[in-house]
Chain A
Amino acid sequence: MTDPQEKTRPVAGPTFIDEKPVPVPRPGRWVAVVVLTLIAAWGVYTLGFEKIQRGHLMQTRLGWEVVGQYFLSPNIFNGLLMTLELTVAAMAIGIIGGVVLAVMRLSSNAMLSGASALYIWFFRGTPVLVQLLFWFNLSYMFPRIDIGIPFGPVFVSLDANTFITPFLAALLGLGLHEAAYMCEIVRAGILSVDEGQEEAAQSLGMTRRRAMFRIILPQAMKVIIPPTGSQTIGMLKMSSLASVITVVELLHSVQLIYASTYDTVPLLIVASLWYLVVTSILTVGQYYVERRYSRGSVRNQPLTPLQRLRRMLDDFHPGMRQLPPNA
C-alpha cells in the first residue's frame, strides 16, 4: 500500500497482492526432513564421536585424535607447500602452453595447426601417470641432455640424472599434459567471441596480434575461466601423482609418516582436509576472478556474498553504516 503507483492506478477489482494464498500441502517434505536429519545425525555421531577399541586404546572410528596430532605438523606443512608449488607452476606451464597451442591450432598455417593437433593427440591421449614416469626416466633415453643445433654443434651438455630432478620431472609431466587440455579450453573461448570483434579491431588499424591480446582474449576469458578453475582444482589433486616419482608433496608426506606409525586412515584424512581447505580457497578466488571478467556482459553486477551480508546487517541496524547505493 505504500507503493506510490498504487494511488494513481485505478482500482478495477480485488487485488491479490496483499493476500497470502494457502500453499499446497507438501507432507513428503516433512518426511524427507525427518529421514535426512536422522541419517545426518547418525553420520556425525559414528564418524565423529563414537569410540571403538583399537589395540589397548579407545579411539574414534576415523582416528580424530591422531588427525589433530598431525594436522599442523611441519612435515605435512612442507608437503602442502610442495603441492602448492607444483600446482601453481604446472598450471602456469599449462595456461601459457595452452594459449600458445590454441593460437597455433587456429592459425591458417597448416604446419602450426597440425603441430598443435599432434601435440594434443599425444599428451591428451596418454595417461598423465605414464607421462610422469617417462619424464622421471628420461635419463634412460638421454643420459646427457645436449642443447644445440640438431646434427650440429652442442652449446650446453647436462647430465640428465642431476638436471631432471623428481620435481622437474613432475613439473614437466603435469604441465605439458595440462597444456593439451588448456589448449582446448582456450580455443573454445576464442571461438566464442563474435567475428565482428576482430573485424572491428582490424578496421581500427589493429594488427591481428594486438586484436587477439587486447580484444579477443579478454572477451574469451569469460568462457575460459570457469573450466580453468576446475582444471586448477583438478591439478591440485593430480599433483598427488608426483608421489609416485618420489616428490614429497602432501600425499607423500603423510605416506612417509604412516609408513612407520601405521595410522593410515587418520593421515589420509589429514591430507584430504588440507586438499579441501585449498580447494575451498580456490573456489572463492574463482568467484571473484569470474566476476572481474564478466564486466560489460551483465548490465548490473550482482553483489558478492560479502556485500550482501553487509547489506543485510545494515538492514538490521539502519543508520549503523551507510553503504553507497551501488557498492
Chain B
Amino acid sequence: MMFRRRAATAPSTERHDGPMVKAAGVYKRYGPLEIIRGVDFEVQRGEVSVIIGPSGSGKTTFLRCINHLEKIDAGRIHVDGKTVGYREVDGRLHELRDAEVCRNREQIGMVFQNFNLFPHKNVLENIIEAPRGVRKIPAAQAKARAYELLERVGLSDKVRAYPAQLSGGQKQRIAIARALAMDPKLMLFDEPTSALDPELVGEVLSVMKQLARDGMTMVVVTHEMGFAQDVADTVTFMSDGKVVEQGPAPEVLSNPEEERTRAFLARAMSERRASA
C-alpha cells in the first residue's frame, strides 16, 4: 500500500444513480449502552438533510458513522453505493484496510462542532494539506483552488493567519473551505454553529446556504431551526437513538405527526424566540 501512488486526478468518477447516503438498521453500542438503535436513513443526491433532536439522541454519533469515524455494530451504511468501512463478498462483510477507508473518506467532507483546524498550520496550509498530501495535487493547483475557496467563504485576507488568530465564525468557515478542497460529493456538518457566539452564527450559516444552493449534498446535525426551515429538503427527528419522524422539511417542521416531535419543536421554537 505504501508504495502505490495515485494519479493526481479526482478519485473515482464512476456513476451510481441510487441515493447518496442509505443507512439500514444501524446500531451502535458503547459497552452496554445503545446509542443508536435501528436507524434507517436516506439522502438523495443534491439534497440537504437536517437531523434534529434533543442532546444525547445519537444524531452526532450517527453522523460520525457515515464516514466511519465510528464503527457500527449492526446494519449497513452505503455512501454513493459503497458500503462504508467494509466490502461485501458473498453476503459477508470484510473490513477494509486503513488506506481503503481513507480513500472513501476523501469523498466525504466533514465539519466539526469544535472546528478542529490544525493549529500549527496557517489557513492556506490547513486547506492545501490534504489535497497535496492525500490526492497529490501539485502545489500551484492546490493553492489556486484554496484561494478560490477562501474567496467563496469570504476570508481571502486571512491566507497567512493561524487558527488562533481567527474568531470562531472565521475558523468554521475555514474548516468548511478545508473540507471542500477535497472536492467531496457529500458534506457532513456536526453542529457547526453550536460552539459559536450568537452573533457569529449567521456568517457560517450563510456559507452553508450558499453551498446548498450550489447543489451540494449535505447532512446537517443542528439546533438551528431557522436553517432547517430555510434550507432543508428533508428533516429527520431523532430521539433515544431512533428515528422518530422523517420527511419533507415543511411537513415535519410545521405539521409533525408525532407527539414527541411536536413537543421538541415547540420547545426549540420558544427558545429561539426567547434568544432572539
Which residues does A use to contact B, with CB under 8 Å?
194, 196-197, 199-210, 214-215, 218-219, 293, 295-299
Q: A residues within 8 A CB of B114?
A: 194, 196
Chain A interface SS verdict (over half):
helix
Query: With A210-B133, A296-B164, A298-B164 given, is the CB distance from A202 to B102 under 8 Å?
Result: yes
- Give the complex CA separation of A296 and B133 in angstroms: 21
What are the residues of chain B within 8 A of A299 when measuring CB–CB?
162, 164-165
Instruction: Decide if B121 touches A203 in the complex (CB within 8 Å).
Output: no
Residue pair B179, A203 in contact (C-beta under 8 Å): yes
A200 touching B118 in the complex, CB below 8 Å, given contacts A205-B130, A210-B133, A299-B164: yes
Interface segment, one of B15-23, B38-46, B103-111, B146-154: B103-111
Further 14 A-B residue pairs, CB within 8 A, beyond A199-B112, A204-B106, A297-B119: A194-B116, A196-B114, A197-B116, A197-B118, A200-B116, A204-B179, A205-B102, A205-B135, A206-B130, A219-B118, A296-B120, A296-B164, A299-B162, A299-B165
Q: How far apart are the CA atoms of A295 and B162 in the complex, in Å? A: 8
Query: Hey, which bits of chain B sit against chain A, CB under 8 A?
Result: 67, 69, 98-99, 102-103, 105-106, 108-110, 112, 114, 116-122, 129-130, 133-135, 162-165, 175, 178-179, 182, 188
A-B contact count (CB 8 A): 82
A82 to chain B, nearest CB (A): 37
The interface residues of chain B lying within 8 Å CB-to-CB of A194 are 114, 116
A218 touches B102 (CB 8 A): no
CA distance A45 to B177 in the complex (A): 68
Write the nearest CB–CB distance from A223 to chain B, whole angstroms: 12
How far is A158 from B106 in the complex, measured between Cα atoms in Å? 50
The CA of A139 and the CA of B244, in the complex, are separated in Å by: 74
> Which single residue of chain A is at the shortest CB-CB distance from B131?
A204
Which of B69, B106, B109, B120 has a CB less than 8 Å from the CB of A219?
B120
Complex interface: chain A residues within 8 A of B133 (CB): 206, 210, 214
A310 to B98 CA separation, bound complex (whole angstroms)? 52
B118: nearest chain-A partner, CB-CB: A215
Would you call B179 and A207 a contact (CB within 8 A)?
no
**Nearest residue, chain B, Cβ from A218:** B120
Q: Are B164 and A199 in contact (CB under 8 A)?
A: no
Cα of A297 to Cα of B122 in the assembled complex, Å: 11
Residues of A within 8 A of B116 (CB): 194, 196-197, 199-200
> Within the complex, which residue of B112, B121, B134 is in contact with A296, where a contact is CB–CB below 8 Å?
B121
A-B contact pairs, 24 of them (CB 8 A): A194-B116, A199-B116, A200-B116, A200-B117, A200-B118, A201-B118, A203-B67, A203-B108, A203-B109, A203-B110, A203-B112, A203-B188, A204-B179, A204-B182, A205-B130, A206-B102, A210-B134, A214-B133, A215-B129, A219-B119, A219-B120, A296-B120, A296-B122, A296-B163
CB-nearest residue of chain B relative to A199?
Answer: B69
Q: Which residues of A are found within 8 Å of B175, using beta-carbon distances?
A: 200
CB-CB under 8 A from A214, the residues of chain B are 129, 133
Q: Are A205 and B105 in contact (CB under 8 A)?
A: yes
CA distance A202 to B108 in the complex (A): 11
Chain A residues with CB under 8 A of B105: 202-205
What 8 pairs across the A-B complex have the smallest Cβ distances? A205-B106, A200-B116, A204-B130, A203-B110, A196-B116, A296-B162, A296-B119, A205-B134
B179 neighbours in A (Cβ, 8 Å): 203-204
Q: How far, in angstroms, from A199 to B67 measured CA to CA in the complex?
A: 10
- Residues from chain B with a CB closer than 8 A to the CB of A196 are 112, 114, 116
Task: Please give me the residue from chain B that is nearest to A295 by CB atom.
Answer: B120
Q: Which residues of B contact A210 (CB under 8 A)?
A: 133-134
Measured CB to CB, the nearest residue on chain B to A200 is: B116
- In the complex, what residues of B have CB within 8 A of residue A295's CB? 120, 162
Query: Chain A contacts of B109 at CB under 8 A?
Result: 203
B-side contacts of A200, CB under 8 Å: 110, 112, 116-118, 175
Given A296-B121, A297-B164, are A207 and B69 also a contact pair (CB < 8 Å)?
no
Q: In the complex, what distance in Å separates the CA atom of A85 from the CA atom of B217?
A: 59
Q: B120 CB to closest chain A CB, in angstroms?
A: 5
